[in-house]
Amino acid sequence: MAKDKFLRGALILTIAGLMVKIIGSVNRILLSRLLGGEGIGLYQIAYPIYLLMISISAAGIPIAISILVAQRIAKSDYIGAGRVFRISLMLMVATGIIFAWALYFIAGWLIDVNIIRDARAYYALLALTPAVFFATILASFRGYFQGYQMMTPPAVSQIIEQFVRVVVMLLFAYWLLPYGLEYAAAGAAFGAVPGSITGLVVLSWFYRKEHKKIQEKIKYQAKTKKESVQSIAKSLILLALPVSCASLMLPVVTGIDMLIVPGRLEAAGFTVVQATTAFGYLAGMALPLVMMGTIPTISLAASVVPAISEAQALGKLSVVRAKGFTAMRLCCMITLPAAIGMWVLAQPISLLLYGTKAAGPSIANLSPSIFLLGMHQVSTGILQGVGMTITPMLNMFVSAAVKVFFVWELTAIPDYNIVGAAWASNINFAVAAALNIFFLVRYTNFEFPMHPFLKTLAAAIIMGISTRALHNYVATFFTGNAISALLAIVFAMLIYVVVLLLLGGFSEFELGKIPFVGEKMVVVLKSMKVLREKA
């Protein structure tokens, strides 16, 4: 049975993303235990500024390049695809230099004008400056490979980059800790520099390897008109600017939280240290778990953009709608159970991963963001693939304004405090996702998978109720948290898959299209049908 190329790419990126997050989660656990909530808070105050700079300078470039490359590959224009990459690379070198210097010069200003309320985060900001340059260049390579729907090179580079980054983070944080938390946080932040350099080296190696194969195809390519540098640069900028703005969702959310939450917590009666610690629980402990749950949707969004762009360039509108429907349906099937599972197991997960129950309320109340952010990411990818790149950007601006209002109001209420900040994020993602889906349905004849969504929601709710009951039961036999939490997580995954299959969440044809494991799952589904008929 034929496999969907975009599904294969999404699966490869998902596996890589999971490995990256597992490495990062181990690092987060060790770093949390090493630096504590206050130290993580300092690191987390600086890191969103770095992410914001990367998002502004380069976040739209991989998508923009992948769209332009995919359009040319659809027409077998390999020379044009290579030209797009080379011109984008030159632009990114210049952009990386500009934004790296910008971060260096504004770091002190952010402290002076009290935008960053804890001056100890200054050193972490400086440590992240070189990483902006290298990460910007990396964006060009990743966009080029994504345009060819070759997801293995970006996947491998991400894993190696993360491993190097984590090793350096822990070594420098441990080494500098005796000099003070601010220096330890800066040491942890510096890990992004050697990590991005390593990722660049890996992708350069893959590029040289694949370039030889592409040269063979170029020999048989018909002559095409050479596009000017100005034309390609204009296309890149027109695509990259709105895509970059749309990609600012997470940096904007974390940036808004960083700028507003500590001050509003102080208004609710917290001291500066208490506010930094509470912010560390939300942004440094709860948010990474949300990001873990949305790894597959990030991969789906990255993979669906060139796939839809290619189909759009060839005028295959039925393929465009089918791929969009599949991506949205898979998003629901992955993120709904993850959100409900994290809600019911928030405290055990907090204790298991971070050694404290204090992050439990933040984790539980931020868990809906797994589903809502996932829907936003995938719907954004579909809109970008069909050429509506400005729409997600405008929707993001609207949702960000809503976020500012709710985080300002809810966080300062003493009974809500950090929980109010979590729900402001949920509302933000919900507004952005709802607007995206509205425009998809209104202007592209997109069909939202409502019937599969209801089946998925039912399976996820059954899983959540069963998992909570199992955890409470197992906890009566084991005094330690680890065994009961791990058993509950494994049980949750099993019960969800079984219930979803029983409810008919997948057909045999759809299962067969899943890369690597599709045929085996079809056999399982047939066996379950036989058992049901006998019963």
pLDDT tens-digit readout, 232-264:
888 888 887 787 777 666 667 777 787 888 888
More confident: 25 or 406: 406
Whole-angstrom Cα distance, residue 347 to residue 25?
Answer: 17
Residue 527: its pLDDT value, please? Answer: 64
Residue-wise pLDDT for 66-107, tens only, equals 888 888 888 778 888 888 888 888 888 888 899 889 888 888
CA angle 502, 325, 72 (to 5 degrees): 140
pLDDT band with cut points at 50, 70 and 90 for residue 434: very high
pLDDT tens digits, one per residue of 97-133: 998 898 888 888 888 877 777 778 888 888 888 988 9
Alpha helices in 268-416, H assignment, sequence order: 272-279, 287-293, 295-313, 317-344, 346-354, 360-366, 368-385, 390-411
Predicted confidence band at 436 (pLDDT cuts at 50, 70, 90)? very high
Q: What pLDDT was estimated at residue 77?
A: 82
Task: Please report which confidence band the pLDDT of residue 402 belongs to, taking 50, 70 and 90 as the band edges.
Answer: very high
Sole residue written with tokens 């039961």: 473
Tokens representing 105 are 């010069």
Residue 340 in this model has a pLDDT that exceeds 80: yes
pLDDT confidence of residue 1:
36
pLDDT bin (cut points 50, 70, 90) of residue 531 is low
Count Cβ atoms within 10 A of the Cβ of residue 510 and give its class: 0-12 exposed, 13-18 middle, 19 or more buried: middle
What is the pLDDT, as a whole number, of residue 446? 79
Q: How confident is the model at residue 290 (pLDDT cuts 50, 70, 90)?
A: confident
User: With contact defined as beta carbons under 8 Å apart, do 28 and 173 qualify?
Assistant: no
Q: How many helices (H) and strands (E) does the chain have?
A: 22, 0
How many Å apart are CA 260 and CA 255, to the nearest integer?
Answer: 8
User: Which residue type, as a one-letter code, is found at position 344?
Assistant: V
* The token pair that represents 285 in the structure block: 């402990």
Task: Work out the mean pLDDT of the chain and round it to a whole number.
Answer: 83
Of the listed ranges 13-27, 185-199, 427-441, the one predicted with least confidence: 13-27
Rg of the chain over all Cα atoms, to the nearest angstrom = 23
> How much is the pLDDT for 519?
60
| Inter-helix orientation angle 78-112/192-219, to 10° | 160
| Cβ atoms 47, 370 nearer than 8 A | no
Tokens of 509: 């044809």
For residue 517, pLDDT over 80 is answered with: no
Rounded Cα–Cα distance for residues 175 and 194 (Å): 17
Minimum mean pLDDT among 268-272, 338-342, 417-421: which range? Answer: 268-272
Token couple for 339: 């959100």
Digit-coded pLDDT (tens) for 140-186 = 898 888 888 888 888 899 899 989 998 998 899 889 888 888 888 88
Average pLDDT over residues 318-347: 89
* Mean pLDDT of all residues in 40-67: 79
Does position 9 have pLDDT exceeding 90, yes or no? no
Per-residue model confidence (pLDDT) at position 164: 92
Residue 402 exposed, middle or buried by CB count within 10 Å (0-12, 13-18, 19+): middle
Average pLDDT over residues 9-13: 81
DSSP per residue over 391-451, as a string?
HHHHHHHHHHHHHHHHHHHHHTSTTTTHHHHHHHHHHHHHHHHHHHHHHHHHHH-----HH
Residue 426: both structure tokens together:
């949920």
Confidence at residue 47, expressed as pLDDT on a 0 to 100 scale: 81
- pLDDT at residue 2 in the model: 41
Q: pLDDT tens digits for 347-385?
A: 888 888 888 888 888 999 999 999 999 999 999 989 988
Q: Residues near 255 by Cβ (< 8 Å), separated by ≥ 6?
A: 48, 49, 52
Q: Which amino acid is at 324?
A: G
Check residue 250 and give its pLDDT.
Answer: 67
pLDDT in tens, 483-513: 888 888 888 888 988 888 788 766 655 555 5
pLDDT value of residue 59: 66
Rounded percentage of the chain residues whose pLDDT exceeds 70: 90
% of the chain at pLDDT higher than 90 = 17
pLDDT in tens, 456-489: 899 999 999 998 888 888 877 766 677 888 888 8
Please state the rounded mean pLDDT for residues 417-424: 90
Our CA dihedral for 427, 334, 192, 245, rounded to 10 degrees, sits at -50
